[in-house]
Amino acid sequence: MNEITLQTKFSVYESTAELPSDIQDLMAKAVAIRKQAYAPYSKFRVGAALLLDNGQVVLGSNQENAAYPSGLCAERTAIFHAGANYPEAKIVKMAISAASDTNQTTAPIPPCGACRQSIAEYEFRQDLPIEIYFMGETGSIYKSNSLKNLLPLTFDKNFL
């Protein structure tokens, strides 16, 4: 038997004030759209803001449905909107903020597995890493230089 070791690397910002000004603005948009999430069942709200290489910012919030799992996460809402409306644009940066209506979220909350796979698809498709910044309601912010830090063993079209 052999073993492999996979390592990931994240930058950690202790507050939004430490972020570069363009990312502060992007995260503020993620926080604002998070507050518009439709989350009557989970009471867990997520907002995502994408910066495209054409300068456009695309927003998404989670949208729940009583018929689980018919809802859609914020990250995929934003990514699919960008793909449909700006098919030639590349996603350069993504800011994600998550908060609970029932308790304060202070730890950085990363994308779920389904969102990671969707982000991976766009990263492969555009052949450009996507910087991903994620946080809870308050507290530190993690930055990943690529989705590959969040999903090191990716499944892509090369396996088909």
Catalytic residue numbers read 75
Residue 48's nearest CA partner among 40, 36, 58 is 58
Is 73 flagged in the annotation as binding? yes
Residue 62 labeled ligand binder: yes
Q: Is 68 annotated among the ligand-binding residues?
A: yes
Core vs surface per residue 10-33: b (16+ CB within 10 A) or e: beebeebeebeeebbebbebbbeb
Any known ligand binding at 63? yes
- Check whether 30 is labelled as a binding-site residue: no
Q: Determine if residue 149 is labeled as part of a ligand binding site.
A: no
Annotated binding site for Zn(2+): 73, 112, 115
**Binding site listing:** 62-68, 73, 112, 115
Q: Which residues sit in the known binding site for substrate?
A: 62-68
